[in-house]
Amino acid sequence: MGSEQDMVRVGELARRLGTPVRLAEQGPDRSPDQSPLFQGRLSWQQLRPGLSLHCSDCLELHDFSTQVEVSPRLSLVLFMNGDGQAQYDDRRLQVAPRPGRPEGIAIALTEPATFTRQAHSGQHIRKLSICLTPEWFASSGLDAHISIRRLIEPRQHLALRRWTPTAPLLALAEQVMGQPADGELLAHLQQEVRVLGLVHGVVEQLVGEPTEPVRQRPHHQRLVQRAQELLHSGEADGWSLEQIASAVGASASTLQRQFQAAQGMSLFAWQRQRKLQQAHVALQSGVSISEAAWQAGYSSTANFTTAFRRQFGMTPQRVQKFY
């Protein structure tokens, strides 16, 4: 599987993928089998037949492109950092998440296709990809649902959809990214549970099944949006729930209830996750742990480290070491 921080060459890439990889557009003086392509963490896990996970948190060392043949599947991809420049046959894909603003996409393949990806020297890639095959849908009984069948029926070949990386989905994704690929049975099962949680949240968006945010009345949606904008501004840092509720024109109980319905967590839990995500980005840019802790609202670096590990599955020191 491979998840260590290492140098990955094309031969190792093919071994981890379990399929031949073609390398193109490499420099004239480089040997395709010897030159490292990536430095960092790349992992591929087969969680169960038809359900696989790929995580990348690495640096691209050269300008090159890779090609690989892929079988029918529904791919759910979360881009956290880096320019996602790729294509499936003639279907071009361009994703460029902004700092702190991940992007989610889903692409359906109902027949085999050639996947081509362009890499750029010096680019840091951080992404997560979940692949679901028709066999997995069949074994799960999900292909019996009309809304699911519409995602993977033949006319949907190369159909591209976008999905929203909500705070709960991002928190779950960070836990998945932080879990080593090579682990004990219980760790493997825990990873599968997390991945299935992501699948549920994303597929729910794709098929348009009712969720709490959709059932909210428009004025409640606007209330939650105003609260989020206030929290994003930094003006409400250190405020109580009552102060925030007063600023957005609601009672504390109403704001808390509607925020929980929209985000699947309390207002302050959402704020903590958002602050920790900002701290993660800050650590990548070279900020000290004490400064990142202060930015996230922690006066104690020990408490910050505990919360950081709980959310991302790794310590701030580990993030600093890699970046």
| One domain for residues 80 and 176 | yes
β-pair type (64-70, 73-81) = unpaired
Q: Is residue 1 very low, low, confident or very high in pLDDT (cuts 50, 70, 90)?
A: very low
Residue 301 has pLDDT above 80, yes or no: yes
Report the pLDDT value the prediction gives residue 313, as an integer from 0 to 100. 64
The answer to whether residues 255 and 248 touch, using CB atoms and an 8 Å cutoff, is: yes
Report the pLDDT value the prediction gives residue 109, as an integer from 0 to 100. 92
Report the pLDDT value the prediction gives residue 106, as an integer from 0 to 100. 94
Long-range contacts of 29-38 (CB under 8 A, 24+ apart): 30/62, 33/9, 34/9, 35/9, 35/10, 35/61, 35/62, 36/7, 36/8, 36/9, 36/61, 37/8, 37/9, 37/10, 37/13, 37/61, 37/62, 37/64, 37/66, 37/119, 38/7, 38/8, 38/13, 38/119
Coil, helix or strand at residue 166: coil
Residue 232 lies in a domain: yes
Q: Is residue 286 very low, low, confident or very high in pLDDT (cuts 50, 70, 90)?
A: confident
- pLDDT, average across residues 54-81: 92
For 151, the token pair is 């995602």
| One domain for residues 281 and 296 | yes
Percent of the chain past pLDDT 70, that is, above it, reads 90
Cα–Cα distance measured from residue 130 to residue 229, given in angstroms and rounded to the nearest whole number: 31
For 164, the token pair is 């929203």
**pLDDT tens readout for residues 224-265:** 999 999 998 989 998 999 999 999 999 999 999 888 877 777
| One domain for residues 50 and 146 | yes
Report the pLDDT value the prediction gives residue 25, as an integer from 0 to 100. 61
Write the CATH number for 29.
Answer: 2.60.120.10
Please tell me the least confidently modeled range out of 103-117, 198-212, 227-241: 198-212
Report the pLDDT value the prediction gives residue 208, as an integer from 0 to 100. 74
Residues 6+ apart with CB under 8 A from 282: 291, 292, 295
| One domain for residues 200 and 221 | no
| One domain for residues 165 and 286 | no
Report the pLDDT value the prediction gives residue 128, as an integer from 0 to 100. 96
Coil, helix or strand at residue 38: strand
Residue 1 lies in a domain: no
| One domain for residues 84 and 147 | yes
| One domain for residues 220 and 301 | no
Residue numbers of the domain that contains 285:
268-323
Residue 209 has pLDDT above 60, yes or no: no
Please tell me the least confidently modeled range out of 22-26, 152-156, 220-224: 22-26
Percent of the chain past pLDDT 90, that is, above it, reads 33
Residue 245 lies in a domain: yes
| One domain for residues 135 and 186 | yes
Write the CATH number for 283.
Answer: 1.10.10
| One domain for residues 99 and 202 | yes
Q: What is the pTM of this model?
A: 0.64
Of 98, 61, 66, 64, nearest to 79 by C-alpha is 98
Instruction: Write the secondary structure of 56-123 as one string of H (helix), E (strand) and C (coil).
Output: EEEEECCCEEEEEEECCEEEEEEEEECCEEEEECCEEEEECCECCECEEEEEEECCCEEEEEEECCCC
Residue 159 has pLDDT above 50, yes or no: yes
Report the pLDDT value the prediction gives residue 31, as an integer from 0 to 100. 52
Coil, helix or strand at residue 37: strand
The tally of domains found in the chain comes to 3
- pLDDT, average across residues 34-50: 86
Of 76, 74, 72, 65, nearest to 21 by C-alpha is 65
Cα–Cα distance measured from residue 323 to residue 321, given in angstroms and rounded to the nearest whole number: 6
DSSP label at 314? Answer: S
Q: Which of 244, 264, 284 is the last residue of a domain?
A: 264
| One domain for residues 159 and 88 | yes
| One domain for residues 53 and 170 | yes
Q: Is residue 212 very low, low, confident or very high in pLDDT (cuts 50, 70, 90)?
A: very low
Residue 2 has pLDDT above 60, yes or no: no
Most confident of 10-19, 28-37, 96-105, 228-237: 228-237
For 36, the token pair is 């490292």
Residue 304 lies in a domain: yes
| One domain for residues 198 and 274 | no
- Please provide the average confidence, as pLDDT, over all residues in the chain: 84
Please tell me the least confidently modeled range out of 47-61, 73-87, 132-146: 132-146
Q: Which position has the higher pLDDT, 24 or 34? A: 24
